[in-house]
Structure 1
Amino acid sequence: MHATRTLARTVDRPRATITRFRDVLLLLGQLNYTWTNTESLLIHMIAGLVGVDKETAIVIFLTLNTTRARIDLVERLTKMQKTPPACRVEVLEATRRLSEEAKLRNKYNHCIYSFDPDSGLGLTQSMRIFESKDEIKYGKIEKLDEQEIGRIRESITSLAGINRMFWDITERYGFPK
């Protein structure tokens, strides 16, 4: 009987690893979907703050090829004197929160994933170079454990809240939809 249980556990491990791997990939897909959906709302901020139609704002948004550049533009437009103070506070809070979430999103978009078939433990390996005055480091490896999975879930929830903030701003200030 003991040998049967051991064999069953061994046979189930690869299946459990595949299931865990699939679940993590689905969660990362949800993170990317939520991120992209929320970042695209910067189009409405650009349209409203510049005073242009949505199509023009889309061209501006797509011309800026990084999230950082898009957020910088929205923040600079928001800080202009013509922006009502209440609107300024709301937009800057939303972009601040979006910038905070960008760190985790960037981590998972710029890494390699691996899963140990025996333990099912996931790992990420950074695809960034960290350079100091006299050396470089690259490929930082981190565990993709339950705590990290919790951080991803929290980020998805936070992004959904930021998404609602942008929509509320769009509605409240009559920005083009």
Structure 2
Amino acid sequence: MSEPGQPIDFDAFLLLIGKLNYAWTNTESLLIHLIAGLSGMDKETATVVFLTLNTTRARIDMVERLAKLPRISQAERDRMLMLTKRIQGQSALRNRYNHCIYAFDGEGSNPRTILMRIADRKDKLMMGQVNDLDTAAAGQVEDAIAELTQINRDIWQSIADFDYPG
């Protein structure tokens, strides 16, 4: 991109969001192998479990809970919990761009997001958080894609290290 905070081409940003979603989905699907390995089930059965758990949070909870079983070694547990923590660390950015609307000024430029979430505080509701789509935002997405790519590699290494079904 260019200097942080500068305007960006919206089409280029959408391509980044597509890459982010690809990296996310591809990495999340690897939880199937972690579920299989930690539970002792075959990959086909783990796929059914993965697909039955219809949220990322539920899938990560499953991996974390299986990792905490007493029969799981400390090294294996630590690795699984570290991996799930890293995945969760990328979820806020992914959610920001997947649960928002995109808005523009009257000329169709200066793109920004409006978050479609209600924050319920003690005595008020907050909604419609606005974020500019600029080179800084694009840089955050690029960083998230790079981290998800590394998490993906680290999961595959863990699958090999712990002899999980591949």
Partner of 1:74 in structure 2? 63
1: CA distance, partners of 2:54 / 2:150: 24
Q: CA deviation at 1:121?
A: 2.1
> What SS does the aligned partner of 1:125 have?
strand
Aligned partner of 2:37: which letter? G
User: Number of paired residues?
Assistant: 160
Match for residue 46 of structure 1? 35
Aligned to 1:44, what secondary structure does the other structure show?
helix
Match of 1:157? Answer: 146
SS of residue paired to 1:175: coil
Q: 1:38 to 1:117 in 2, by over 3 A?
A: farther
Distance 1:138 1:171 in 2: 44
Q: Of the candidates 12, 26, 30, which is equivalent to residue 37 of structure 1?
A: 26
- Alignment partner of 1:130 is 2:130: no
Q: Does 1:22 align with 2:11?
A: yes
Per-residue Cα deviation, 1:122-163 (whole angstroms, up to 9, x for no partner)? 200000011112221211111111111100000000000000
Residue 83 (structure 2) pairs with residue 94 (structure 1): yes
- 1:109 pairs, out of 95, 98, 108, with 98
TM-score, reference length from structure 2: 0.91
Q: Deviations over 1:93-125 (max 9, x none)?
A: 111000000111011110001234758322000
Distance 2:77 2:157 in 1: 13
Identity percentage over the alignment?
Answer: 49
TM-score by length of 1: 0.86
Tell whether the 8 Å contact from 1:78 to 1:92 is kept in structure 2 after alignment: yes
Partner of 1:8: none
Larger Rg: 1
Gaps of 5+ in 1: 1-16
Greater relative contact order, per chain length (Cα 8 Å cut-off, separation 6+): 2
1:167 correspondence with 2:164: no
Q: Distance in 2 between matches of 1:130 and 1:86?
A: 38
**2:74 counterpart of 1:85:** yes
